[in-house]
């Protein structure tokens, strides 16, 4: 047989499109030609494959003309993942191994010069795609646990090229790898909301944020517990569903982060304020997911929010609304999910002590205004809950009485989310028409609310944010629709918005 076709897959964002490695041996001037929009690392595979075959004691057809085609031709191919399928294609085309068994198998892996298989990134999306196609998957042994997260897939782990050859010749069977994923957890043990002393309004806002999926801004002097509060938000969120956990793991897989230690936990990402726009939303010459995608189905915590470059923060506005980020380049486009929950913290002024009874603020009015107005109005409009976190009096700080535990608060959050599930979406993402229908405000309440919003000079987007928070408050208390008291509380979470805009 002089023609062989091997099934494998490329990596394109979170997608793993099918690639056929076609190998043809023909008479003519000896040589190897590789076509199919392969980048440099793929083109270099010819030398890795040649050395691996020879050092493994197999024959490399040096007297034949070898043509390798990676189809489809217009799909970009990157990395060393195509080494194994190229090597197997050459072996099948040269008649050294039969190719019938490979018709129901996909494979990928980078070859060392001695024939050993090295791990590659992005294996989980490949495993999910192979499962949908109904094929088994040969992977390097180091990638076996990751591939096994796609339950129901037959994963065949190997350490050396000769193991695959022996399996195809019927001399040795590769045992399928089965690994049960760890249980889905809400958050790592030891992080509990009960450890937070005082800060009742901030704790209340944290519960509302968890119940409705709302974005949250905490403002207050240093040392008042803003970071401590934010880090406990994942602990009161419900555990991930299996499909959500696989999405989170697939994003980590694409950039080569470990999966098993964070499996099933909601991400909690904390980029430094010196992060660039590319680091935050993704990009680069070879587009990779950024922090907003790594925080998908979890929490993105931005500490010292005004210290981030304004241009960096502005690129988050569209993903905060759409839940996705599209990265376009000249010849391709990649789309990554980015349904994250933003929690931000900031000081009230450059020195941090404005309104702090323990320390005197030394900032001028102009400095305070410039600092607070580093945040744009459109960005603030997208943050539903804005809460002041004041310095605690000594008696609260030294109190030994614990607050409510994360488990207790989570029960209320789960009950509120169950009501929202019947509507079809969390309140933070409920479409405008459905939001209005769910709130069902009477004429008098609507007129009262319009007057309040006009006096506070809040935008149309802020109006809908108020409705969303009020609806979440109603869900937490089990009410059918928001009452005026819940609308008043929701408006109270926009007062900081007015201050920061200079109102």
Tell me: the pLDDT tens digits for 132-181? 999 999 999 999 999 999 989 999 999 999 999 999 999 988 989 877 76
The average pLDDT across 253-273 equals 89
CB 26 within 8 A of CB 1: no
- Helix (H, G, I), strand (E, B), or coil: what is residue 302? strand
CA distance 294 to 281: 9
Residue (of 286, 293, 290, 289) closest to 331 by Cα position: 286
pLDDT reading at 185 higher than 80: no
Say if residues 260 and 145 touch (Cβ distance below 8 Å): yes
Which stretch of DSSP H or E encloses residue 67? strand 65-71
Report the candidate in 417, 387, 219, 187 with the shortest Cα–Cα distance to residue 299: 187
Neighbours of 62 (CB within 10 A): 11
Tokens of 339: 């349904």
Between 35-49, 270-284, 357-371, the lowest mean confidence (pLDDT) is in 357-371
Please compute the mean of the pLDDT values over residues 377-399 and round it to a whole number: 82
Element (H, E) at 161: helix 161-168
- State residue 68 phi and psi, 5-degree precision: -110, 125
More confident residue, 391 or 340: 340
Residues of the chain above pLDDT 90, percent: 68
On the question of pLDDT at 188 being above 70, the answer is no
Q: Which of 118, 99, 120, 178 is nearest to 145 (CA)?
A: 178
Q: Cβ of 263: how many Cβ atoms within 10 Å?
A: 20
Task: Provide the pLDDT for residue 331.
Answer: 67
Select the more confidently predicted residue: 143 or 186.
Answer: 143
Bridging pattern class, strands 282-283 and 324-328: unpaired
pLDDT value of position 355 = 79
Contact 344, 305 (CB under 8 A): yes
The region of weakest confidence among 21-25, 224-228, 459-463 is 459-463
Tokens of 175: 């045992």
- Is the confidence at residue 462, as pLDDT, over 90? no
Length of the chain: 503
β-strands 155-158, 136-140 pairing: parallel
**Do 69 and 35 touch, CB atoms closer than 8 A?**
yes
Least confident of 31-35, 308-312, 328-332, 363-367: 328-332
Q: Which one, of 211, 250, 243, 215, lies nearest residue 230 by Cα?
A: 215
CB pairs under 8 A, 24+ apart, for 363-370? Answer: 369/502
Q: What's the confidence (pLDDT) of residue 450?
A: 87
List the single range of 66-70, 121-125, 256-260, 458-462 with lowest mean pLDDT: 458-462
**Mean pLDDT, rounded, for 349-370:** 87
Residue 246 has a pLDDT of: 93
The pLDDT, as a whole number, for residue 155 is: 97
Distance CA 410, CA 413 (A): 5
Q: What is the pLDDT of residues 8-62, one digit of tens each?
A: 999 988 999 999 999 999 988 888 999 998 998 899 999 999 999 999 999 999 8
Q: What is the pLDDT of residue 354?
A: 85
- For residue 395, name the pLDDT band (cuts at 50, 70, 90): low
Spatial neighbors of 65 by CB under 8 A, at least 6 apart, are 25, 26, 27, 28, 29, 30, 31, 33
Closest CA to 80 of 99, 52, 54: 52
Picking from 290, 174, 315, 253, the residue whose alpha carbon sits closest to that of residue 11 is: 253
Task: Note the pLDDT of residue 503.
Answer: 44
Q: Over 378-439, what HEC string results?
A: HHHHCCCEEEECCCCCHHHHCCCCCCCCHHHHHHHHHHHHHHHHHHCCCHHHCCHHHHHHHH
Q: Which of 30-39, 75-84, 401-410 has the lowest mean pLDDT?
A: 401-410
Q: Determine the pLDDT at residue 294.
A: 96
Confidence of residue 396 (pLDDT cuts 50, 70, 90): low
Q: Say whether pLDDT at 346 is over 60.
A: yes
> Which ranges of 25-154 does DSSP label H, i.e. alpha helix?
40-43, 45-55, 83-93, 123-133, 144-147
Question: pLDDT confidence of 499, banded at 50, 70, 90?
Answer: low
Q: Does residue 24 come out as left (phi exceeding 0), alpha (psi in the -120 to 50 range) or beta?
A: beta
Alpha carbons 55 and 160: distance in angstroms, whole number: 11
Residue 387 reports pLDDT greater than 80 = yes
Beta bridge partners of 7: 20, 106
Task: Determine the pLDDT at residue 13.
Answer: 87
Calpha distance 330→224 (Å, rounded): 48
pLDDT at 372: 83
Q: For residue 111, what pLDDT is reported?
A: 97
Residue 341: how many CA atoms within 13 Å on its side-chain side? 27
């Amino acid at each position: 047989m002089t023609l062989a076709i091997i099934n494998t897959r490329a990596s394109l964002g979170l997608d793993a499109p099918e690639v056929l490695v076609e190998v043809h041996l023909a008479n003519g001037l000896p040589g190897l030609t590789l076509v199919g929009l392969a980048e440099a690392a793929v083109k270099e595979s010819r030398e890795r494959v040649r050395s691996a075959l020879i050092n493994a004691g197999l024959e490399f057809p040096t007297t034949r003309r070898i043509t390798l085609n990676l189809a489809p031709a217009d799909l970009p191919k990157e990395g060393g993942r195509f080494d194994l399928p190229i090597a197997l294609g050459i072996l099948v085309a040269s008649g050294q191994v039969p190719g019938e068994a490979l018709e129901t198998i996909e494979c990928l892996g980078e070859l060392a010069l001695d024939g050993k298989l090295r791990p590659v990134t992005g294996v989980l999306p490949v495993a999910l795609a192979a499962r949908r196609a109904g094929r088994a998957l040969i992977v390097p042994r180091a990638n076996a646990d990751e591939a096994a997260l796609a339950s129901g897939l037959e994963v065949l782990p190997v350490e050396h090229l000769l193991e695959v050859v022996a399996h195809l010749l019927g001399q040795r069977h590769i045992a399928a790898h089965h690994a049960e994923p760890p249980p889905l957890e809400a958050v790592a043990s030891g992080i509990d909301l009960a450890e937070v002393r005082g800060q009742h309004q901030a704790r209340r806002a944290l519960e509302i944020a968890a119940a409705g999926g709302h974005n949250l801004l905490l403002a207050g002097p240093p040392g008042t517990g803003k970071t401590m509060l934010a880090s406990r938000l994942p602990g009161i969120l419900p555990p991930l569903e299996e499909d959500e956990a696989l999405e989170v793991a697939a994003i980590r897989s694409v950039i080569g982060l470990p999966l098993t230690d964070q499996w099933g936990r909601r991400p909690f990402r904390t980029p430094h304020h010196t992060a660039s726009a590319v680091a935050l939303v993704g990009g680069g010459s070879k587009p990779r997911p950024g922090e907003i995608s790594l925080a998908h189905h979890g929490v993105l915590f931005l500490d010292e929010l005004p210290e981030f470059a304004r241009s960096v923060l502005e690129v988050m506005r569209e993903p905060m609304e759409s839940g996705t980020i599209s990265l376009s380049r000249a010849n391709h486009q990649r789309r990554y999910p980015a349904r994250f929950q933003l929690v931000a913290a900031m000081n009230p002024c450059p020195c941090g002590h404005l309104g702090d009874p323990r320390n005197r603020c030394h900032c001028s009015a102009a400095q305070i205004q410039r600092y607070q107005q580093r945040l744009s109005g459109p960005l603030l409009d997208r943050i539903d809950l804005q809460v002041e976190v004041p310095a605690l009096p000594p008696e609260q700080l030294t109190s030994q009485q614990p607050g409510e535990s994360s488990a207790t608060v989570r029960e209320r959050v789960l009950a509120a989310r169950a009501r929202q599930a019947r509507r079809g979406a969390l309140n933070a993402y409920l479409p405008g028409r459905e939001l209005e229908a769910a709130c069902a405000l009477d004429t008098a309440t609507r007129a009262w609310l319009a007057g309040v919003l006009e006096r506070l000079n809040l935008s149309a987007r802020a109006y809908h944010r108020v409705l969303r928070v009020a609806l979440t408050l109603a869900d937490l208390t089990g009410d059918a629709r928001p009452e005026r008291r819940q609308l008043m509380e929701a408006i109270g979470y926009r007062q900081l918005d007015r201050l920061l805009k200079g109102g």
